Amino acid sequence: MKPSSSTKLVGIFGDPVSHSLSPAMQNAAFEYMGIDAVYLAFHVPARPASALKTAVSSIKALGFMGVNITVPHKEKVIEFLDHVDNEAGDIGAVNTIVNKAGKLTGYNADARGYIESLGQEAGFSPQGKNAVVIGAGGASRAIAFAVLKAGAKRLVIANRTLRRAQTLSRDLKKKFPKPEITAVPLDKNFLRPVAGDSQLIVNASSLGMAGKEELDFPLYALPEGAVVSDIVYKPFDTGLIKKALVRGLVVHRGLGMLVHQGALAFELWTGEKAPLDIMRMAALKALKLHA
Ligand code: ATR
């Protein structure tokens, strides 16, 4: 559908943002569903801090349907919204904003998107299981929350900066008093003993991204049938995923979470069921073009 004077705007605010696969994925969904909207990437710099505030006020001023929010704005953006959905408030991060009649509501589609893709693509539910989450940044916060909400029995958070993992663990304990939640350094001596009875490990750090070093996890210590999940989607197969495949473990790639959170955002903006397969194909095609 060609943009016209009635086309609605949707977009993503981030810094950096030019690598985002969301425009390709969301525009393919609008096209397929015959929705007169266009999704663009907007570079909203981290500094000055006023840039984000101005960008958020433009959602109302320009009548956007809504936007996605990505690094580094997911936490900071909350103060500029009219409402925050309960789950996003608990996580402390927003990745989707919906503009309804000039009122902005923030949601976190990362958490639900993660659990939905884990179920559909790896056939795994964290209910009653032991999980390890690597990383303690914004992405880890949403995933750790999602895994606990889905009923995990034990969660170990491993991070290079131990203090950050301890803060996350303390925050999660307030919301989830029953499961065992511990913070450990990102060190094989700590990871090996917990790997033996963990059914899910999630790389929610930026290790393994194109151009970064790989996560070195003691995969050999995991039990048969364990799921190795990596939220990094570029490259499509990270070093961790490749090693897990060689070891015969179940893998869950980062593209799954990207597509599922995108589908949830699409549904929040349009009220229509998202065309998941179309979105996945568009994201995969864009990933190959960017590679
Ligand atoms: P996001 O919002 O995407 O999670 P972030 O808040 O910058 O981004 O978090 C990135 C995560 O990757 C952090 O857990 C970070 O560890 P630190 O808390 O110690 O910084 C982790 N990370 C990034 N580069 C890393 C590296 N080279 N080695 C180990 N961990 C790394």
Could you report the per-residue pLDDT of 241-285, keeping only the tens digit for each? 999 999 999 999 999 999 999 999 999 999 999 999 999 999 999
DSSP alpha helix (H) spans, the chain: 22-33, 50-61, 86-91, 109-122, 138-149, 162-175, 188-195, 239-246, 254-270, 276-290
Q: Is residue 87 very low, low, confident or very high in pLDDT (cuts 50, 70, 90)?
A: very high
Could you report the per-residue pLDDT of 18-37, keeping only the tens digit for each? 999 999 999 999 999 999 99
Q: Which of 94, 141, 145, 205 to mutate to test the pocket of ligand 1 (most atoms within 8 A of CB)?
A: 205
80-95: average pLDDT: 96
CA of 136 relative to ligand 1 center, distance in Å: 7
CA triplet 233, 290, 205: central angle to 5 degrees? 25
Average pLDDT over the chain reads 96
Structure tokens at 179: 């499961």
Sheet holding 37-43, edge to edge: 37-43, 8-14, 66-69, 96-100, 103-107, 83-84
Q: Is residue 290 very low, low, confident or very high in pLDDT (cuts 50, 70, 90)?
A: low
CA of 29 relative to ligand 1 center, distance in Å: 31
- Asked if the model's pLDDT at residue 289 lies above 80, the reply is no
The residue from 8, 53, 74, 234 that is catalytic is 74
pTM for this predicted structure: 0.95
Distance of CA 96 to the CA centre of its chain: 11
CA of 31 relative to ligand 1 center, distance in Å: 36
CA triplet 196, 219, 262: central angle to 5 degrees? 105
**Using CA atoms, how far apart are residues 14 and 42, in angstroms rounded to an integer?**
7
